[in-house]
Amino acid sequence: MSHVRDQPATGVLDDLDLYRRIYRQMLLIRGFEDLVQSLFLAGEVYGTTHLYSGQEAIATGVASVLEERDRVAATYRGHGHALALGVDPQKLLDEMLGRTSGVNGGRAGSMNVNSPDDRLIGSFGIVGGSIAAATGAALALGRTTGGVAVAYFGDGAMNQGYVFECLNFSQVFKLPLVLVCENNGYGEYTPYRSVTAGEICARVEVMGVPAETIDGMSVWTVRESAERAVAHARAGDGPVFVEALTYRFVGHSRSDPGAYRPDGELDRWRARDPIVVLRAQLEAEGVDAADLDEAEREMSVQLEQMRERGLAAPFPAELTAREFKD
């Protein structure tokens, strides 16, 4: 496993402009999640939400290596996956708010967002469902565009039948599938170690699928791993698995304060905040801190504008859905 560099070295980031863009994406995701949380507390976002705060390096790092022909299946903790793929943040927010202008017209809500035009097959609300959707996408893409399908899922999904069935299925047929396990240490409220036998990658390797565990708080580590993974899948060598170690800075869902976490654990992970880690690296590589501060200010302004526009957008008047396509 890679490690977080406490004393950043130079020459780590291969493309500073790219990482500046990734930095802005990570700021957007964090700010978006804070905004969703505040709107939730204000009663403007409904039901439940699962925030991506703390895991930003994974979605942005993986998305940075994908091509137009690739496709992604996200989880119900999927706002970050969507934003990293380029889903319009205003439309995504409006979806949370249940408005007509939402990316799915208010039909989907937080857990079910999809945007095929942005390469997002969907966000799948059943633990493990994303893996099946991506497996099928890989089956089709491998025969058509040569694209690769990426599935995001959490450590909790490792105990679902979806994982084993689709791992085996995709390996037998050598499908172009990249499996990204975001191990944030908890399946809902339960520490994954207390409900998961053995090591995650060992389960995968036994099927001959290459797997590696990486530091999911370091976006360049994620990007480098994703480059290797996508190359493997695109070459026709079958599925590949990445376990990215990460942490969510918030509870499982909006109703969860995370009281089950041991004292100090959150603080230890916050010290490895992927945004802080990337910023330190950018500065170490000579990026002007004032530029990065400016990016943060711009993001705050953009998010406030999004909030105002979203709250002003109309709700759908009525559901006019056709059950079937003619």
Nearer to another protein, 31 or 187 (CB): 187
Separation of alpha carbons 273 and 320, rounded Å: 44
Nearer to another protein, 297 or 325 (CB): 325
**Minimum distance between the CB of residue 240 and another protein, rounded to whole angstroms?**
17
Buried b (16+ CB within 10 A) or exposed e, 89-110: bbbbbbbbbbbebbbbebebbb
Nearer to another protein, 122 or 251 (CB): 122
Q: Are the beta carbons of 243 and 206 closer than 8 angstroms?
A: no
**Minimum distance between the CB of residue 324 and another protein, rounded to whole angstroms?**
5
| Percentages of the chain per state (helix, strand, coil), in multiples of 5 | 45, 10, 40
**Minimum distance between the CB of residue 123 and another protein, rounded to whole angstroms?**
9
For β-strands 71-75 and 120-124, DSSP reports them as parallel
**Minimum distance between the CB of residue 18 and another protein, rounded to whole angstroms?**
28
Nearer to another protein, 17 or 326 (CB): 326
Nearest to 152 by CA among 45, 46, 66: 66
Q: Give all strands of the β-sheet with 71-75 in edge-to-edge order.
A: 120-124, 71-75, 149-154, 177-183, 240-245, 211-215
Nearer to another protein, 73 or 181 (CB): 73
Separation of alpha carbons 279 and 118, rounded Å: 27
* Residue ranges in contact with another protein by CB under 8 A: 71, 73, 104-105, 107-108, 112, 114, 116, 121-122, 124-126, 129, 131-141, 143-144, 149, 161-162, 165-166, 168-169, 172-173, 321-326
Nearer to another protein, 156 or 251 (CB): 156
Nearer to another protein, 137 or 306 (CB): 137
**Minimum distance between the CB of residue 142 and another protein, rounded to whole angstroms?**
10
Nearest to 191 by CA among 159, 156, 224: 156
- Please work out, in degrees rounded to the nearest 5, the angle formed at the alpha carbon of residue 314 by the alpha carbons of 313 and 315: 125
**Minimum distance between the CB of residue 70 and another protein, rounded to whole angstroms?**
11
3-class DSSP assignment, residue 266: helix
**Minimum distance between the CB of residue 71 and another protein, rounded to whole angstroms?**
7
